């Protein structure tokens, strides 16, 4: 068996090869609210569920970004909120020697794709722990979501009107 050092070598530091590294994946925020309990729990009706997903990107330092998936799951029965789950799954990603034109797709497609399974798991778990049937979020095509946002940005830029600024994606469930 050969030993490998976890410290980067001098060659790797001076390399011009493109690099992508996950530094950390973590649950930044998670909440479950049941504002109409216990009365709403006695209503025998199937809930209507709405899921919203958004992405935020924050630069931390040169080549290091925090990417977060923000999700809101709202279940209503007879127009009253049964439960509301808000979750923020985040990760710190490091990029080196990535061409500028590829950074935005990496941050908007690759990073959210890595984070999403963690978000799905936490949302299903908290709903289950709240006493409800778990809701398993549908798969998301982050490439299509990214393309949709690009189109929205182009339309807003073309119209020079900030009215079309809504960027959250509401998923059918």
Condensed to tens digits (0 to 9), the pLDDT of residues 21-39 reads: 999 999 999 999 999 989 9
User: In the predicted model, is pLDDT for residue 68 greater than 70?
Assistant: yes
> What is the pLDDT confidence band of residue 169, given thresholds at 50, 70 and 90?
low
3-state secondary structure of 156: helix
For the chain, give every domain's residue range: 18-160
Q: Of 1-5, 58-62, 83-87, 89-93, where does mean pLDDT reach its minimum?
A: 1-5
> What is the pLDDT confidence band of residue 9, given thresholds at 50, 70 and 90?
very low
User: In the predicted model, is pLDDT for residue 172 greater than 60?
Assistant: no
Give 14 or 63, the one with higher predicted confidence. Answer: 63
User: In the predicted model, is pLDDT for residue 3 greater than 80?
Assistant: no
Helices (H), the chain: 10-13, 100-105, 111-129, 142-159
Distances (CA, A) of 91 to 24, 49, 68, 138, 165: 5, 27, 6, 21, 25
Cis, peptide link before residue 38, omega less than 30° from 0? yes
Condensed to tens digits (0 to 9), the pLDDT of residues 110-163 reads: 999 999 999 999 999 999 999 998 889 999 999 999 998 888 888 888 886 544
Q: Which CATH superfamily is domain 18-160 in?
A: SecB-like (3.10.420.10)
Per-chain mean pLDDT for the chain: 86
């Amino acid at each position: 068996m050969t030993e490998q050092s976890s410290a980067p070598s001098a060659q790797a530091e001076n390399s011009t090869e493109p690099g992508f590294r996950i530094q950390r994946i973590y649950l930044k925020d998670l909440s479950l609210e049941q504002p109409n309990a216990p009365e709403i729990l006695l209503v025998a009706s199937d809930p209507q569920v709405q899921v919203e997903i958004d992405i935020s990107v924050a630069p931390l330092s040169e080549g290091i970004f925090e990417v977060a998936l923000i999700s809101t799951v709202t279940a209503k029965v007879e127009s009253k909120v049964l439960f509301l789950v808000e979750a923020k799954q985040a990760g710190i990603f490091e990029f080196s020697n990535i061409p500028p034109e590829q950074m935005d797709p990496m941050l908007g497609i690759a990073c959210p794709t890595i984070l999403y399974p963690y978000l799905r798991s936490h949302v299903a778990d908290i709903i289950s722990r709240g006493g409800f049937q778990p809701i398993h979020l549908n798969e998301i095509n982050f490439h299509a979501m990214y393309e949709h946002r690009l189109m929205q940005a182009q339309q807003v830029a073309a119209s020079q009107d900030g009215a079309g600024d809504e960027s959250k994606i509401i998923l059918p469930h």
